[in-house]
Structure 1
Amino acid sequence: MAHVFSFWETRAFYDSFMARSHDRLAAAQSGTFKDARTRLFDHRFDVKTGFEPRFSDADVLRVALCRVHEARAEHFVLMQEKVWNPAMAGSPGMIRGLFGAAPGNEYVVLSMWRSAAEHGKYRTERVERLALRAQTEADVAALTGDIVELEPSWTV
């Protein structure tokens, strides 16, 4: 499995790419992969510091895709900002991240870590306690995610 993340300076640049180049590039890649899934998220806020799509200082990326109950969406966003963000930002080894939103009450939390070991310390010590405090179970209808070991040769 491969995860491909792209970051666009503006929505206009993204729309221009989709209108002018996407189909040609997709046709050239036909047959090189199967079962591709894509989502477009709008940046809502940073986790820890100003997000930069720079990966040279990170070894691991954690991505969490959340589908949230409509009636709980506002609470979910508030808890990301007031509970999860400060906890991740205070964790040694956490470099930076972002929180994004898509239509249909879908959200992404992307966090970059110096190492899998540093991320593992955060998970073991805090996640269960934070989930209770943030009432995550009541907010989230579905949660998928992955720990992505970054491959420097794939970064462009």
Structure 2
Amino acid sequence: MLVKWIRCTVVDRRGFERGQRKWAGLLGEQGFRGQSGGWSRGQPEVAHVFAFWESRVFYDSFMARGHDRLAAAQSGMYKDMRVKLFDHRFDVKTGFEPDFTDADVLRVAHSRVHEDRVDHFALMQRQVWNPAMSGSPGMLRGVFGEAPGHEFLVLSMWQSSAERGKYRPEGVARLAARAETDRDVESLTGDVVQLEPSWTV
């Protein structure tokens, strides 16, 4: 599975949201699995969108044919767009499906990892972070993806922001020390995204 992550700064919020609903046109595209997104909790003008495709072949076919027609509805509505593609490596928790109906918050973590620590980083995700996240109240499911250049995405879906808050305090520092995250990671950025149900396709 291919995971597409789009992050942009919105200059016309109402127009952007109107255009976002046009992406319902993705339904019926061969290989399309789902899409949704929402607004950053920390930076209200920042939007995140996540799309899921069965494979790069289906995604490339759509980009060559139908993408520009759908994207035209949001022309001029945003700036500083960043697009990243990640190959699914494994699930966080079990049985990941791009189903957003029961989630209201997404947590996204983007890491650039030292080349000689890539295998260790992935192992720690499986052995340390996944069990901790899976055992957290309100955590539904997630995906761990990899992009060229030793970049990784951890995308997790949560039932509510209150539940996600229980995962944070002292536990994260303890887990990071156990996983030797400081030794693995060159840079780490993240965000908490409030899902907009009307963006779900």
Give me the identity figure in percent. Answer: 74
Between stretches 111-120 and 16-25, larger displacement belongs to: 16-25
Q: What's the secondary structure of 1:87's corresponding residue?
A: helix
1:126 paired residue number: 171
1:71 paired residue number: 116
Q: CA deviation at 1:29?
A: 3.0
Q: CA deviation at 1:26?
A: 3.5
**Structure 2 CA distance, aligned partners of 1:121 and 1:132?**
19
1:100 paired residue number: 145
Where in structure 1 do 4 or more consecutive aligned residues deviate above 6 Å? none
5+ residue gaps, structure 2, are 1-45
1:55 paired residue number: 100
2:160 paired residue number: 115
Q: What's the secondary structure of 1:67's corresponding residue?
A: strand
Of the candidates 11, 25, 46, which is equivalent to residue 70 of structure 2? 25
Q: What's the secondary structure of 1:39's corresponding residue?
A: strand
Q: CA deviation at 1:22?
A: 2.5
Q: CA deviation at 1:125?
A: 4.1
**Structure 2 CA distance, aligned partners of 1:39 and 1:153?**
23
Aligned length: 156
Q: What's the secondary structure of 1:37's corresponding residue?
A: strand
**Structure 2 CA distance, aligned partners of 1:141 and 1:13?**
32
2:61 paired residue number: 16
**Structure 1 CA distance, aligned partners of 2:66 and 2:198?**
23
Between stretches 117-126 and 76-85, larger displacement belongs to: 117-126
Q: Deviations over 1:71-102 (max 9, x none)?
A: 11111011001110011011111100000000
Q: CA deviation at 1:27?
A: 4.2
**Structure 1 CA distance, aligned partners of 2:182 and 2:77?**
38
Q: What's the secondary structure of 1:4's corresponding residue?
A: strand
TM-score, normalised relative to structure 1: 0.95
5+ residue gaps, structure 1, are none
Matching of residue 35 in structure 1 with residue 44 in structure 2: no
Q: Deviations over 1:87-141 (max 9, x none)?
A: 1011111100000000000000001111111111111141110000000011111
Q: CA deviation at 1:47?
A: 0.6
Q: CA deviation at 1:20?
A: 1.4
